[in-house]
Amino acid sequence: MLEKNGIEFAGLLSVSQDIASRTISAVDVTTALIERIEQIEPSIGAFASLCVDEALAAAAQADREIAQGLHRGPLHGIPIALKDLIATRGHVTASGMTLFADRRPDEDATAVARLRLAGAVVIGKTKTTEAATLAHHPNIPAPRNPWSREHCSGFSSSGSGAAVAAGLCFAALGSDTGGSIRIPSAMNGVTGLKPSWGRVSRHGVFPLAEYFDVIGPMARNAADLAAVLGVIAGPDRRDPTAAAIPVPDYLGHIDEGISGIAIGIDFDAWETCCDNQIFAVIKEAAEVLADLGALVRPVSMPEFDQTKILPLILAGAAEAHRATYPEMREFYGPGLSAMLDHAAKLKAADFSASLNYANALRGRLATLFTGIDLLLAPVLTGPVPLAGVLEAALPGEAPMDLLRFNPPFSVSGQPTITLCGGADKDGLPIGFQLAARPFEEALLLRAGHAFQQATTWHVRHPSPR
């Protein structure tokens, strides 16, 4: 049984079991997190806004329903945070932009509506970089990494990663266009799932580049991710890109292990491109997975030039801001303005070449996965950087090099899970990712769960300061 004091770093499912058995109330759990947010949030700055009154009311309703024998599932009574580009009825959803500081949607995004139906307690909206790009708006302080306030918390689901890592919520939703779930998951030492393109409805989500954008969960561990994904995934009549295929029982298959699963790893590429600390963690992760029965095989990752898909992202961003830019340029930060100005200079041939390149890469990755089930890859090529260093280098090679192994799986629409596999010399987390074929999230979650059953990196947490 969990106690109210110290509950902040417990897993979602363990808290859920105690709420369901009424050994602790959802109100007590929510109150404990609100008190922790009051204590820790000033030094972290993970939240754009809080939903305190509504959260306590939802928790009280969950307690009443459970007392009456109505249990809605593993998210019932669980405090969850939402990236602040996911529409939340009646609450400011600013997408990290000062332009939208007063925007209050009339309805929930589909993912939020499904969380509420499952009994989840929305505790707040987490900060994001401006419109989910690589830089926070200069008037909105970036979240700080709970492991070290001097280090970066990631792009662009930075607030979600920091909030989960700091014990301010049990899970959070993020979005990912080119690494925005994976990067903050790795930097903050949490577990994150980038679903397949089309696995989760994007209705009510402010876009960056819709042909890459996905919504996914960030949490303590793979089993907790499975619980959240099982609720938010599935077709949606309001989003025609949400795949009309059944949602597996992710939790029901979580313990099936990975014996006989073929995992590819490009040792030469990872060693050449990565800092020694990163490569050491990847090698150790491969050894752990092999000990669990996986068949680790050497493969060659297709070459990838990030600059060749940039027109697709720029064109997507231009479409998202067509109604407000450049007419309202004064509300835009320099990073987003530069992107949109660059987009205005694109020609049709640039977009066509980018689309052709993306399609070719998608084909090469599909061919690679005819011989393997999963691919083990870095999230970052180096340790977590100091806060502001990458932003100051934009645009430039350094930020793109650090993040280079994220966009390929956005282009291909493949799902990935980010796991913590070690720590650098300064004690900050080092993450890695496993990628699977489209819509094979169940296998990713099984692999992540197996790895976490054999290791303890995911149960480490930063000390409060």
Residues taking part in catalysis: 83, 156, 180
Question: Within 10 Å of residue 326's Cβ, how many Cβ atoms?
Answer: 12
Amino acid 125 reads K
Q: How many CA atoms lie within 13 A of 408 on its CB side?
A: 24
Q: Which of 302, 440, 306 is nearest to 365 (CA)?
A: 302
Measured CA to CA, the distance from residue 343 to residue 275 in angstroms comes to 33
Query: Cα separation of 239 and 198, whole Å?
Result: 9
Structure tokens at 58: 């939802």
**Is the alpha carbon torsion for 305, 308, 314, 319 positive or negative?**
negative
What's the CA gap between 47 and 43, in Å, rounded?
11
Contact partners, residue 69, CB within 8 Å, separation at least 6: none
**Residue entry with tokens 């990838």:** 304
Torsion of CA 117, 123, 124, 128, to 10 degrees: -80
HSE-up of 337 (CA within 13 Å, CB side)? 12
If one counts every other C-beta atom within 10 angstroms of the C-beta of residue 402, the result is 24
